[in-house]
Amino acid sequence: MNNFHDGTPKHPIRGEESRLQKLMMDMLVEADVKVNGGRPWDIELLGAKVPERVFSLGSVGLGEAYMDGDWQAERLDEFFTRVLRARLDRQVQPLRLAFHALRTRLLNRQNLKRAWKVGEVHYDLGNEFYEAMLDPRMTYTCGYWDGASNLAQAQEAKLEMICRKLQLKPGMRLLDIGCGWGSLMAYAAERHGVHCVGVTISKEQTAWAQNRYAHLPLEFRLQDYRTINERFDRIASVGMFEHVGRKNHRTFMQVAHRCLADDGLFLLHTIGKNQRDSATDPWIDKYIFPNGDLPSIGQIGDAADDLFVVEDLHNFGSDYDKTLMAWHANFEASWPQFKDQLGERFYRMWTYYLLSCAGAFRARDIQLWQWVLSKQGITGGYKRPDSPGREAAASLRLANAPKGR
């Protein structure tokens, strides 16, 4: 196994185990992970003071040590699956991380000024980079794999499912809060005949989408969601609520409520956590999504209280595991064209991000929800539409079935 992507290995540390290394080994046994073992999910120590960094800095120390090349696991996704299933992350809570948790609870880290930081740090990384990693429609959210056999099919199935859940009809106006590169807007316009307005805080996304979809009835705005004040037949927000922050959940719902027609539908697609009071992972916050804050079901419910009727709640978080693994495969395949520009440390950082998140979804440590909300309740009730992916797969099997004589 190569310990660095360029094939230059480091050598595992030898000699007498330190007290912290022994403690780390004993903890990892609970997750069926061995230090310097031979299985794909075992951790190989390649530099000094990895245990010290983990016990003093928690997830930040673990992630930074990986970025520095001080430890390796052949299957990083499986390593994290086992660690998170055993809840070892809850056993390592350094005192210095308590300040991070306190900031998350007390401060509004997603106010009008700070909200733009994630666009600059993450989404403005470069359109060419994301084009190489994502599907042809540039959809940077969880695909829907029921009946799908590849990433492009899973993303189209997800987009079609959203359109069906929203019951889109030709001529409607759709607002997409956090529109990304415009994949939902373009799909909805092309397949369902709607007019769309999308807002994003990424300059790169806005410019790319305006250029690609100039022929469609789409309007892309570089705008914070809090400043929107006009009516739409339907609203969607796909993969943006994770950046809203608990201090702004209610404001977000109030904006959606004032912008939605009285007989409209609002679809909220978001990653979520299982525990209300937990803080954002500090490594993810520092290196990937600054000021992010995953909501819990209770927090979303509190924010929607007396504003919306919850018509449907759909959890397909296990599909994010498959989506992240597909993104990682694309990232690996395209890395040679970005290696000189981004460097080895970025490679290890991005690998750690994609595979640790895949492991988290596989362990069911985090979830993916789609909520369908209405302002006054659907008369007679709301019925979730059938899976478009399974429907398409069944049609394909029927078309390819042997014909009778």
Indicate which residues carry an active-site annotation. Answer: 357
Please list, residue by residue across 187-215, b when 16 or more beta carbons sit within 10 angstroms of its beta carbon and e when fewer do. Answer: bbbeebebbbbbbbbbebbbebbeebbee
Tokens 């460097």 belong to which residue? Answer: 343
Please list, residue by residue across 371-405, b when 16 or more beta carbons sit within 10 angstroms of its beta carbon and e when fewer do. Answer: bbbbbeeeeeebeeeebbbeebbeeeeeeeeeeee
Distance, CA of 166 to CA of 117 (rounded, Å) = 31
- Pick the closest to residue 45 from 80, 69, 78, 75 (CA basis): 69
Can you name the residues that pair with 315 across neighbouring β-strands? 369
Cβ-count burial of 20 within 10 angstroms (0-12 exposed, 13-18 middle, 19+ buried)?
Answer: middle
Q: Give residue 86's identity as a one-letter amino acid code.
A: A
Residues whose CB is less than 8 angstroms from the CB of residue 191 and which lie 6 or more positions away in sequence, other chains included = 160, 163
Q: Give residue 79's identity as a one-letter amino acid code.
A: F
- Pick the closest to residue 20 from 28, 32, 12 (CA basis): 28
The H helix count followed by the E strand count for the chain is 16, 9
Tokens 């079935």 belong to which residue? Answer: 401
Distances (CA, A) of 29 to 26, 82, 91, 109: 5, 10, 13, 37
3-state DSSP assignment of residue 236: strand
Backbone angles phi, psi at 40, to 5 degrees: -60, -30
- Pick the closest to residue 139 from 125, 126, 149, 153 (CA basis): 153
Distance, CA of 342 to CA of 3 (rounded, Å) = 19
Distance, CA of 315 to CA of 271 (rounded, Å) = 10
